[in-house]
Structure formats: structure tokens, C-alpha cells
A and B are shown apart, each in its own frame.
Chain A
Amino acid sequence: MTSLPISAPSWAKLPRRHMPVLATLTLLLVMYGIGVSQYRAFSNVQVVFNVFIDNGFLLVIAVGMTFVILTGGIDLSVGSVAAMTAMVSAWLLQSGLPALPVLVIALLIGPTLGFLMGCAIHFFDIQPFIVTLAGMFFARGMCTFISDASIPITDGFWTTMSQYRIGDPRGNFVSISVLVAFAVVLIAAYVLAYTRLGRNVYAIGGNPQSALLMGLPVGRTRIAVYTISGLCAAIGGILLSFYTLSGAPLIAIGMELDVIAAVVIGGTVLTGGSGYIFGTVLGVLVLGVIQTLITFDGSLNSWWTKIVIGGLLFAFILLQRLIGIRYK
């Protein structure tokens, strides 16, 4: 006897992990194809760029959510935190503070809240669902505490960021938000694939008990992912305020659910341990293309977006179940 017979069939090794992402990619291409074949203007490059422009903040927040879901957790606070960040920025700018300190303060709130929620989850061993639900109510409440009416932003830096176009000579362009979102995506993909923090995230999602016994810093990593999610929500909130040039107390209600849907459609398994940032990008794009298709149609109510997302979400969860990516 030289070596043991290995039971894993060769076809099950590689494609299985990548199948959800491939399914999402196929879906995206099919939907884009439908759009192009149905509407002449759909093939315009700017349509694709607009999807990114309109969903830059969603993408950034979804990246943070991917970290959390990979550990097997959930973060329901992200929509409210983004709204609170936008609200705080608008309020501070209105009160006359210069742009830079406003940015710094606004970007600190999200991660601080995330850090506190992570600590509650880790040290008191409370379900992430309920802790972040509390965070969600708190942040939403803070929005209306600051002002129950929308605050417009007139600051020069904000309006520049909002209106600046990076484009080609033919007039196609993207906004600064898109570049920020891309930067966040690249950094996150690198962290998940090439750093210990990233690998610990996957390990905890795979089997937290084993991760602990293998001596990995489970607590630190868990707190880190909620902090990262909070930071991403804060960046998303800033991008949102670039996009709307205001802080509104009721904006982004229910956005956390869109974000979770995008992450899951992008192939990340809700029980943790499996998924990629690239998949999340695709998931956000799927959501964006559905919206675009419905806008192009013109006759459909925008609620159709929700109906389609609901159907897709269900289909993708079934798919994950069927290919049994949970292992044992």
C-alpha cells in the first residue's frame, strides 16, 4: 500500500466551487442579451456605465456584506448606516464645517458602530441578526434625530464629486463613485484572497469550531468583518450623498435586503465559507440590469424589480442547495 484511494471524483473538485458564480455570469449575459435584442439603445456603452453609476454605493456596501456573510454572519444595519453617514455629512456641511473633516468624521461613524456590534456579537455571543437589527434601528433613529426633513448639500467638493465626469471622447462617462467602488472591490478581493485576515474569514465560515482549535483569531476576525462592513456602509453612504446631493432620513430603507440579495445571487453561501467578491460584483450588476430593463420597457411598474429579484434569489438559493456546496 503506497497511498490511499481518494474518494473525490475529479469532476467534483473545481467547477463545483465556481458554479454559482458561473451561473450568475451566464444569467447576467443572458439578461444583457435580451436587453440588446429588445431595445436598440441598450447596446450603448453608456447603459453599462450607468448601471455602475447608479449602483456604485450598492456595490461598495455589498463588498462589506460579503465579508460578513462569508463568516456565516449577517449585517442588517448597512442601509441605515449609509443613510446616517449621508445625513451626518449633510448636517455638518450645513453647519459650516469644511469638506475634509466632514469626510473623516462621517467615515468614522460606520466602522465604530460596526466594531461595537462585532464586539457584542463576539463577547456576548449574541446572534448577529439581532445585534445588527438593533444597530439598524439605532442608525435610522439617529437620522431623524438629526433632522426629520431632507438636508440639501451645496458644498463645492460634494457637487464636484457629484458632477465630475470621467469619459471618453465619444461622450461615454463614469462618475468618481464608480472609481471609488472599483478601488474598494479590488482591495477587498486582494484581502480575501491573499491575506491572513481574508483566509481566516473563510475558515470561520467553514467551521468556526475548527478555526478556533486551529488557533485562528476567531474573535478578532469576527469583530473585524463587522467593522469592515461598517466602513463599507459609510463609504457607500458618502457615495450616496454624492449621488443625491442631500441627506435624507428615510433614504436607503430596505437597502440591506437588496445588498444581501445581491451577495447571495453573486454566489456567496449564506451559511458562510464559500463565495467571491467577483460574484458580488456580478450580483450587483444583475440587480442593476434588471432595473435598467424595466426602465427601458417603460410600461412596467418599478416594483417588478422586486418581483424578479425575489424569484432569482429563490432560484439561486435552490441552486446552492442542489450543488451542495455546504460540504459536511
Chain B
Amino acid sequence: MTASGGQGNSQESRARPGQRRMAQWARDYVRLPGIPDEFLAEDGAPRPVWARFFDAFAALSPADIERRFASADRHLREAGVTYRPHGDTSDRIWPLSHLPLIIDAADWRQLAAGVAQRAQLLEMVLADLYGDGRLVAEGAIPAAAIAGSSEYLRAVSGIKPPGGRYLHLYAADIGRGPDGRWWVLGDRTQAPSGAGYALENRLVLSRAFSNLYKSMNVERVAPFFEAFRDSLRASADRDEPRIGLLTPGAFSETYFEHATLARYLGFLLVEGDDLAVSGDRIHIRTVAGLKRLDVLLRRVDSNMLDPLELDASSYLGVPGLVEVLRKGGAVVANMPGSGVMEARALLGFLPNLCRRLLSEDLMMPHIATWWCGQKPAREEVLSRFDEFAIEGAYGRGVADFPGHGPVLPGELSAADRDRLKDAIGHRGIDYVGQELVRLSTTPVWENGRIAPRPFVLRVFAAATPNGWTVLPGGFCRIADRADARAVSMGDGAVSADVWVVSDKAVATSTLLPAVDTVRIRRIAGVLPSRAADNLFWLGRYLERAEATIRLIRALCTPLRDPARANATGSTPAMHSAERIQRMLVTWGAATQTARTNPAKVALEALQSEEKFGSALSLVRSAQRTATSLRERLSPDAWQVITEMADRLAIEVHDDDGVVSAAELTLQELASFAGLAQENMNRAAGWRFLEMGRRAERAINTTRFARQFAYDEAGDEDLDVLLTLVDCQITYRSRYLVQPLLTPVRDLAVLDPYNPRSVAFQVAALNEHIAALPSLKEHGLIERPQRLAVAVEAMLTTAEAGSLDVKTLFALEQDLLNLADSVGLHYFPHGPNASRPEKLTGLA
């Protein structure tokens, strides 16, 4: 590579190597034969928007380019931009192409008009299908082409959609065909995914190439989301509506996106369990009781939405939701049943439907499709069989042929080919034949040069009171091989940001609303019980991890200090070490072994994958819990937990390794606590995180006190306790003598000024409980508060001299009850509570 200048060089001296690089890239870029390319025109010359882009891009030095790419990748990793391929149990980092797909504004205007028209057409078809049914009765749509779709919901037929429409968000998958026009490959009307990833891709790329991005006049995406949010708000039947984004949960392929969108749009991220039907409305279960939910943006498929009237086996929905729709009690976007328009069987009928319903021609063509349920089309497909790709008519894949993609008859064995032909002959209604197309290519960055790859672009349209608005940009997936028909995230494809480049400067905008139109609020929304439960447990897991690590460190430290071990004599030291080991075993952090091997126990307690109580397992539990809280945690906080889990999994081999891993983890735990303390809004959510931490620390400290400040404890044991509760310095500055039982007990348990004492934790708990909303209707003090007040009174009045093991044991039980009562009181529907189940049996 050229030894090009650093950042200090002037524009002129950089331009020459830049131009050389650009020319070299263009020469090396070999277009695929027979299909258009986004970068190079037919004559081999760069298209104007791309020339502008690469001019500026080539001016960056190779080292600078790599640095920026690395920074984009780092952002994706750190922000935890992930997806979960279907069937996987762990998340993968989102692969992002480093180059955007660039579309010229004039080209885009046409495309957007076509998408908006199509959205409007599909909305009108849906309204007829579930309403008057004239299109079917008059033969404009074959009844079989509808009846075959599992998304045609008979339960919804005849319901007037609350909010006045079926589609609120629509997406079209498009590609540029051999003729240079944009073609629709498929419609997404159920619950289109990808808009959140588009948002994240934009954030990453515009940051990595901020000057380039600014100079290109790229259309902003924020106004689209703003319009979408405002339209959903307007669809509700009260001002200031409460809006939820319904996700299947953290195991879903696109959970990250659900969290991103919920946070960006200011919606509550909810799961089916969070919601309940009461009266004619949907409510959200919160720590302050049931709160009305007005609009539900769903990312759960229609059939899963209501086990009472739709798929009875679903746990993802809300029992009674369809009845709420029938009574007009909530807006669900998109309306359940909208997914029927995704059926390929319908594609061939849309041009006529467009003329009939909109009195205009369909602007954007779609991939030529023959539905084999009708005789002429079936015969056409069977007579030129090898020229088609065969697909399921309703999007379930091709029956009896494995995989989800299309089947190419020309590539089948003779037997399979005959079998498919026969099946189409008998049940043509299940199949479509589609023209084989190859799509245009766009540049990707590969080893310091650019190369052409086919892509599919998902374009989003939102319904607004003033018609459809189209997101300028979208979600672009780029194939890693030449056949672009099978582009899906599972297939090793990457995604790309999409830049619609304007010829004039664009107005900048963010989702921040104009100041004077917004009512000032200081507390953000309501806290769903499940989120509160997760926050509470996040606090507990992290605190328990800290306690475990303190035990591990205490176990290793005296062994590392031979001088001290010699000085105190071996017997009491071993005795303390044995007690520590026993605690770690009881906590499920280590296996019961010969007690002579503290090094092995420490190692196991630190990073065993199998033991549920090891520091690694606890941090992973915290991470799992945090996954369900993504929209409520700052990216920094998330990053700390992720790094901690990753680092704890790196194997260490000896005491030194264990101690330094323990030290690092304690620092990370402290930094998480600091982030929570400094950055979290002092609303209910913060209180539950704090309560989890306080409750767990109170329990653990009491346990430590019982184990190491027992009635006959020697100074070695008391020394361990002071270390475990981090009070060595305080004790020594206060008492100037070796550890003695009563003062140590007082400091660890009763001292209200020591932030590590049990009394301090209980006082904090009490304060939080008192500040939380009351659910009481009977006017009596509620159970968590009753327990907390009683424990606090006991700790306030107790004297250290009378604090024996029996009292400590009773205190520990009281604290465990208190923690449980918080769970029962505020999250009665949490994961540990009984969930709705089906009446079973053949009645």
C-alpha cells in the first residue's frame, strides 16, 4: 500500500493518492455479467452519487479507513447489536457492511411512491377481505388464495379494526431487476422487522464517517420514526396514550431490535405475561397495579396473540385480546390477520386490484408469479417447469421439500422433479411458480478493495393521518454469494446502511420534540412488574457474585502471604479457610472435596461452568437478566456486565490468576454500581435494582457474621469477617486492638453508619419500600414494609453483646422472608408465579 499522508496533510497532497486508489478500485471491480450494478453504469463509468462518495472516501488514507471500520465494529460489539439465528441459544454480533448502499434522490422518489401506493393498496384489500368480502365474492381474488394462508384469521373476520386501519407499518423487500427497475420481491404486512437495525446501522456508520456523511447530504431517518410514533399515538382514543411494544421475549431472533425500537420510540417493552385483559381493555401489570395500555405495536405473530381464540398452545399472547379488539378497546399494530397479504398466491392479482381499487396502475412491478391454484397458470408453470422457481403459495416453504427457500425444478433429481410436478397437479393451490431473477449488485469492502455483491433492500412505510410516509433508507442485506434469492440473515449475509443522497442540503432532525409542545415530566412512565422483578434479581445476582468473590479472595490471600500464615500459626488459619470453603460449597459455588485443596475450590468457585453458584455463573445469570432489560440499561452498564462475563470465562491456572481475576471483577462490579448510582433515573426501576442489592447484601453479611463471628470465634475468624465486609480500616482506626467479638459484631451487623453493615442495608430497604407506590386498598401496612420495619427496629435496639448465633440465624431468616415478600408483593405475576395454563383434556 502507498505510504500516504497522515491527518495533518493538506487536501491537495492527499487527493492524488486518493484518485489513484479510486481508479484502482474501479478497475478491480468486476461487474457480474448480465445484471446491473449500483456503482458502475452500463458503460463502466461510476454513477454520479457513487463517484461523489468514493471521491471523498478515497481521500481517507488506508490506515484511516481501517481505523474507522474498526471503530464501527467496536461500536456494534459494545452496544451489543446482536441477532439470534433461528434455533441458536446465543446472540451473534450483527455483521455490518462498511460501505453504505447509496441511492440517488430522484431514483428514490419513484421507489418511495411505488412503495406508498402498494401499502395503500394492501390496506384497502385487507379492509375488504375482513369486511364486506366483495373482492372474493366478485372473483377479483380467488377464495382459495386467501383460505390457504394461516394468517387469514377467521376469528378477526368482521371486526372493525380499532384505530381505523389494518396496516400501520408496512415493508417491501425489493431488488433491482435486470431491466434496471426496482422490483418488489415480497410484502411484509404482519410485523415487519429490520427498522431498528436500520436505525442502528445509521448510527454506527454516520459516526464512523461523520464528515463524509455530512458532506453527502444524506436524508435523515429520524423524521420517519417521529411520524410513525405520532401516528400510533393519534390512533388511540385518549390523549397521552400508553403504548407498548410486544416482544416474544429475549430468546427471539430480533430481541435486540425490539429493545432498540422501544427505547428510541419511548414505548414500553412488554411480553404477553406483562399484559392482562380486564373489562374491555388491555392492561399492563406494573408495580403500582394494572395500568391501561392503549396501543400495542406487536412483534408477535398474529396466531400467537390470544390463546383463547387463536393458537391455543401460545404463551406469547394475551388471553382475551381478540375480544378486546371486538369491543374496540385497544389498537393493535398491525391488526391481527394483516399477514395474509404476505401470501405469494396474491401477487399475480395485485395489478388488477390496483386498477379496481385505486383507479391507477401499479407503479412498481413485482417478481412475476403464477399461482398454480388456477388452471391456466398451473399449465403454464408445468409446461416450462425448469424455467421457474417453485415456492409455497402462502410462505411456509414448499411442502415435502426441506428448507425454507424456493425449489428449482431444474436442479432436482428426476424422481423429485416428478414428485413435485405430481403434487402441483393435485394441489396446485399450495404452489406458485416465480420467474428466476438475478438482482443488481452493490460494492462491499473486502481486503482493501471493493467487490460487487447482490442485495435485497427492505423499505418501510408508516401510515400517518396524511397518507403513507416512507423511510428514506432501509434495511439492506447483502449476499455473500451470487444467488441473491436466498438472502436472509441466517445465510451468512451482512447488512448495510442505506443512504438516500439528496442534491441539496437536508434538514437535520432528531426524535427530540419541539420544546413547547411537550408537557414537562420528571418520572418516566410505569414500571412493569416483570421489569421490576428482573431489576431486583439483577441487583441480587451481582451482589451475590461480589460476596462469592470476596470469599474466594479471602480464601487465597492468607495462602499468598507465608509470613502471615507463619506468624499466626497454622491451626486457626486452616480453620478459617475450611469455613470459607464450606460456605462456598453450601452456596453451590464449589464441589464438596477434601478440604485440603483451597486452591482448587477457589478456582472452581471463580469460574466453574457447571456450578450455579460460581462467580462466572452468577455474572452470567445477571447478564441473562440484563438481556431482558436492554431498553432500561445504559449501553455502558450493559457493556460492563458483558465484559465481566467474558473475562471471567478466560481460564486462570493458579492463585495469582485467581486473585487478580477476583480483583478485576470487584472493580467491574463497583463500576456497575457506580454507573447505576450516577446515571440511573431515581424512578421505581432504580429502587428495585437497589433493593435487590441491599437485600442480598444484608442476607450475605448476616451469614458471614454467623460463620465468622460465632460465639467462640477467634481473632483469625474475625479478621476474615472484617475483610469480607471490607471493614479492616474502619475497625483498626476505631478500636486500635486486635479483632474482638463484640466490636466486630457491632460493626458488621448493627452500626448504621457503616455502609456495609446489615443495619445500613435494612434502613436503605425501608426507605425504598416506603417510596414505592402502595397497592393497598384496606388501609393496613403492607407485608414488605411490615417486615422491613420490624427488622429495622430489632437492629436499631439490639446490643452487640447480646447478638449470638441464634439471633443472627433468626435475623437471616427474617431477611430471606423480607426478600421473598418483595417478590410476592410487587411481582405476583413474575416468572416464579403460577402462569395461566390451559384447561386440558377432551371435554
Indicate whether A and B interact.
no
Which A residues are within 8 Å of any B CB, using their own CB? none
